[in-house]
Structure 1
Amino acid sequence: MSLNVLMYHEFREPGELDSTQPSPISVEQQYQDALPTVLFSYLDDFKAQMNYLKTEGYHTLTLREIKDFYEKGVELPEKSVLLTFDDAFQSVYKYVYPILKDYEFHAVCFVVLGWLSQEIQLFDPKKSIVMSRQELKKMQDVFEFANHTTHLHMRHKNGTTEMQLTSLQELKEDLAKCGKYVDVPDVFAYPFGIYQSTDVKRLAESGIHYAFTTFPGVNTNKTPLLELHRDTVALGCTMEEFKTIIKRV
């Protein structure tokens, strides 16, 4: 039995996105960065992908089902996939949430608690704006929320992340704070997908039991639980490419 996990970030109508330029992020925390356009999806492509999953009878997994698979040996449905969305960008609320709700699909959002705004912001397709706490709460009938740190989702010029540079005690406190807010505190996604073996050990010591990377491939019952694979559904992903990812075993 194998497990496919899909990773998404941002969504745009075709005319809304300049694919030649990264998108500046806008977050509550004092942090400046830009999201590569490869991490976007065109809305029409996403609709087609979800329609394919629905038409083909795929089951969208919950984190409870993932845990039961690994901890209790409960088999997953033959056609199943875990849908994950990182960082809680506004476009997920604006575009994705209604589609998933219509299809009665389930999904996971990895939340950077310190990035959530206190007030709802106007949607601006020229920026990657993280949603408000109010918007996130409205998605609870479709999404469950997991840990993506509170204030440690920051990238440094030397290629490291704030999560890697902080002390173990500070890491524990940061993850615990986010954990009190999200639904599933012990399930984590590495910021920017960056990690080393020491980070895996520190996560285990901080009470994280499952962690998702950005390395592609299927997961089996032998995949390390703190190094689970995810396939990025990149900008311009064709249906044939999408089918190849989904049917990979």
Structure 2
Amino acid sequence: MSFNVLMYHEFRESGGFDSTKPSTISVTQQYQDALPTVLFSYLDDFKAQMNYLKSEEYHTLTLQEIKDFYEKGVELPEKSVLLTFDDAFQSVYKYAYPILKDYGFHAICFVVLGWLSQETQPFDPNRSIVMSKQELKKMQDVFECANHTTRLHMRHKDGTTEMQITSLQELKEDLAECGEYVDVPDVFAYPFGIYQPSDVKRLAESGIHYAFTTLPGVNIKETPLLELRRDTVTLGCTMEEFKTIVERGQDN
């Protein structure tokens, strides 16, 4: 049996933002960066994608079901998919959450704890604003939150991330802090999808049992638990492309 994982970040209405340049992120932590627009999804496309999953009777997985699959040999429901949303951007709350709730779907939000704000900010389609803790809490009937570090989601000019260069002790402390806040502390997503074999080892030593990459493809029993695969749903993804991704995960 196999399953696939879909990865989303940001959402915009068609024509509601400039898709020709990266979107500046707005986070509580002192960190400046921009999100490539390829990681956005148009709202109408997302609606169509979720409608397809609903009409085709796909089951949206929980992290406990993933754990039971690997740890206890419990078979997954037929036509299963795991929906993941990275970084907790406001547009997930504004656009994706109501759709998922309407369909009775379950989803995962990988949270950078140090990026969340204490006070809700006005939505601005020209910036990628991370939601407040209050907004995140309001989504708990649909989303469970997992670990995306507390303050280590930072990219350096040499292509490394803060997670990779920090000491093992600091990594453990950072992951533990985020772990105290999120629902599932031992499930992780690599910042920017960047990692090396040494990072896998350090995660294992830090109490992380499952980690998701940005490498495309399906997950099977033999997939390393700290290198689980995810398919990025990119800007302008057609329905045919989307169907190809999700149907690939049903090849048992």
Paired residue secondary structure (1:41): strand
* Counterparts of 1:41 and 1:72, CA distance in 2: 35
Q: Could you give the per-residue CA deviations for residues 143-184 of structure 1, whole angstroms, max 9, x where no partner exists?
A: 000000000000000000000000000000000000000000
Aligned residues: 249
1:49 is the counterpart of 2:49: yes
* Counterparts of 1:230 and 1:40, CA distance in 2: 16
Q: Could you give the per-residue CA deviations for residues 80-137 of structure 1, whole angstroms, max 9, x where no partner exists?
A: 1000000000000000000000000000000000000010000000000000000000
Paired residue secondary structure (2:66): helix
Paired residue secondary structure (2:226): coil
Matched letter for residue 41 of structure 1: S
1:109 is the counterpart of 2:103: no
Question: What root-mean-square deviation, in Å, do the aligned CA atoms of Structure 1 and Structure 2 show?
Answer: 0.4
Q: What is aligned with 2:220? A: 220
Q: What is aligned with 1:177? A: 177
Q: What is aligned with 2:9? A: 9
Q: What is aligned with 1:81? A: 81
Following TM superposition, the consecutive aligned residue runs of length 4 or more in structure 1 with deviations greater than 6 angstroms are none
* Counterparts of 1:81 and 1:134, CA distance in 2: 27
| TM-score of the aligned structures, taking structure 1 as reference length | 1.00
Q: What is aligned with 1:68? A: 68
Q: How far does residue 40 in structure 1 lie from its aligned partner after superposition?
A: 0.1
* Counterparts of 1:243 and 1:73, CA distance in 2: 27
* Counterparts of 2:67 and 2:148, CA distance in 1: 18
Deviates more, 1:135-144 or 1:13-22: 13-22
Q: How far does residue 64 in structure 1 lie from its aligned partner after superposition?
A: 0.2
Q: How far does residue 17 in structure 1 lie from its aligned partner after superposition?
A: 1.7
1:163 is the counterpart of 2:148: no
Paired residue secondary structure (1:81): strand
* Counterparts of 2:17 and 2:158, CA distance in 1: 29
* Counterparts of 1:126 and 1:26, CA distance in 2: 10
Q: What is aligned with 2:23? A: 23
Q: How far does residue 188 in structure 1 lie from its aligned partner after superposition?
A: 0.0
Q: How far does residue 242 in structure 1 lie from its aligned partner after superposition?
A: 0.2
Q: How far does residue 3 in structure 1 lie from its aligned partner after superposition?
A: 1.0
Paired residue secondary structure (2:41): strand
Q: Could you give the per-residue CA deviations for residues 36-94 of structure 1, whole angstroms, max 9, x where no partner exists?
A: 00000000000000000000000000000000000000000111100000000000000
Q: How far does residue 16 in structure 1 lie from its aligned partner after superposition?
A: 1.0
Q: How far does residue 15 in structure 1 lie from its aligned partner after superposition?
A: 1.4
Gaps of at least 5 residues in structure 2 are none
Q: What is aligned with 2:150? A: 150
Q: What is aligned with 2:234? A: 234
Paired residue secondary structure (1:157): coil
| TM-score of the aligned structures, taking structure 2 as reference length | 0.98
Q: What is aligned with 2:34? A: 34
Aligned-residue sequence identity (percent) comes to 86
Q: What is aligned with 1:97? A: 97
Matched letter for residue 163 of structure 1: M
Paired residue secondary structure (1:6): strand
Paired residue secondary structure (1:247): helix
Matched letter for residue 39 of structure 2: L
Gaps of at least 5 residues in structure 1 are none
